Amino acid sequence: MLSYVFPLYPNREQREELELTLETCRIAYNSLLEELHKQQIPDRSAMQHKLVEMKKSNPGFGKVYSKTLQYECYRLFSNLSALRSLKKKGRKTGRLRFKGKEWFKTIVYNQSGFRLEKVTEKRSIIHLSRIGSISIKTHRAVEGSVKGLIIKRSCGRWYLILQTDARRKDIVHGSKEIGIDVGIESYLTDSNGIKVQNPKTLEKYRMDLASAQKELSRKRKGSANRAKAKRRMERLHRRVTNARNDFLHKTSARLVRGCRFIAVERLDIKGMMERPNYNARNIADASWNRFLQMLRYKAESAGCGVVEVDPANTTRMCSSCASLQEMPLYKRVYDCGACSMSMDRDCNSAINILKKAYAGPERAYAENMDTYSMKQEASGF
């Protein structure tokens, strides 16, 4: 399902209304959690009953759309099951926590209680039950019908997230077969020697972030200026995240559009962080894990095969004669002592990665995947 995010411009009255709704939902969530802690076995119907009781005794609850309030019960149980699945994976988990004002950010309208009215090409009005009608700038056309919405407060601003039943446009895969090597200097290098530069997003914002942090630390706790400085900090962090995600989405999509088969190294991020020549901050900024995740899901829906290979020796081996030599990080060119081949070190690794994928059993899997997607096309899907 496709979601659209639009900035929301409530007037003063509406903003107060939104704040009040958010606060009521938070109180409801926390009260339900308190109830949950009392129960031996979580009992959903008892919780719903508790919600009805709360509504009777607290007139403020009547000002919030009933389904929005009911959603808090759902939110609690879905948090509970998320916690359980973490526990199953062996993670250390505590109990669910009560949510403070800073941690409660969304109001949910599920299925009903709202109506989107298009006024002009660039402007719409969202009618919300119990809150009112708020104007929005729709900078992109909304496709499909709106199934639900979330109102989110982030860094002192309000956003509307529309959840529609429209489907994301599928990427069509290309015809190349490549191996890719990821690194710090170049974000990635493919087996044809084509490089994508590392945007080093965090690096670009480091001065700004440092000065915002300094400003924040100077402000007195609880003061209005501190809140303002904090918002500035949050805005900067959001800008970094947005820029980074934009890069990752574009890069992964471009690869899938050009290729039918992509071989990558299985990454050992933890091991990399411990390597003396690698800078942990750079690695975190590069977010290769997220990149590979995006590459995988985009490739899968496009019918392009992505294969992970064992990273052993991909850097040290000559892609021409398969002899091995040490390759310390400062050596940017692979000069083979055995067959005198000379090549960019990352490109040499990328070729080795592709060769490994061809040799491995995953190759057959990738080919099957391709026929599978062709069959789908043939049968009209």
Structure tokens at 265: 């190294």
Name the 3-class secondary structure at 295: helix
318 makes contact with Zn ion (CB under 5 A) = yes
User: Would you call 170 helix, strand, or coil by DSSP?
Assistant: coil
Decide whether 241 or 342 has the Cβ nearer to Zn ion: 342
360 touches 307 (CB < 8 A): yes
Binder to Zn ion among 1, 280, 321, 333 (CB under 5 A)? Answer: 321
Site map (CB under 5 A) of Zn ion, residues 267-306, x = contact: ----------------------------------------
Any alpha helices (H) in 132-223, and if so which ranges?
Answer: 201-218
- Position 86 contacts Zn ion (CB under 5 A): no
Only segment of 50-58, 88-96, 122-130, 337-345 that touches Zn ion (CB under 5 A): 337-345
Q: Output 119 or 321, the one with its CB closest to Zn ion.
A: 321
Closest CA to 264 of 302, 289, 292: 292
Residue entry with tokens 């990080």: 329
| 339 makes contact with Zn ion (CB under 5 A) | yes
336 binding Zn ion? (CB under 5 A): yes
Stretch that binds Zn ion, among 80-88, 133-141, 286-294, 334-342 (CB under 5 A): 334-342
How many angstroms separate the CA atoms of 379 and 233, rounded? 52
Minimum Å distance from CB 91 to Zn ion? 46
Q: Which two tokens stand for residue 238?
A: 């959001």
Stretch that binds Zn ion, among 7-15, 287-295, 299-307, 340-348 (CB under 5 A): 340-348
Interaction of residue 341 with Zn ion, rule CB under 5 A: yes
Residues 23-62 that bind Zn ion (CB under 5 A): none
Q: Produce one character per residue of 124-153: b if its CB has 16 or more CB atoms within 10 Å, e if not.
A: bebebeebeebebebeeebeeebebbbbbb
Residue with tokens 């590459």: 295
Asked whether position 338 contacts Zn ion by CB under 5 A, the answer is yes
Task: Report yes or no: 143 and 162 within 8 Å, Cβ to Cβ.
Answer: no
Residues 6+ apart with CB under 8 A from 82: none
Nearer to Zn ion, 304 or 336 (CB): 336
Name the minimum Å distance from CB 377 to Zn ion: 42
Which residue has tokens 């710090």?
A: 184
Q: Min. distance of Cβ 232 from Zn ion in angstroms?
A: 54
Q: Smallest distance from the beta carbon of 340 to Zn ion, in angstroms?
A: 7
**Segment near Zn ion (CB under 5 A), from 26-34, 260-268, 296-304, 330-338?**
330-338
Contact segment (CB under 5 A) with Zn ion among 26-34, 154-162, 168-176, 316-324 equals 316-324
Which of 143, 97, 92, 89 shows the shortest CA–CA distance to 116?
143
**Total residues at the site for Zn ion (CB under 5 A)?**
7
Q: How far apart are CA 350 and CA 334, in angstroms?
A: 12
Query: In this complex, which beta carbon is closest to Zn ion, that of residue 191 or of residue 252?
Result: 191
Return the biggest CA–CA distance within the chain. Answer: 84
Which residue ranges make up the site for Zn ion (CB under 5 A)? 318, 320-321, 336, 338-339, 341
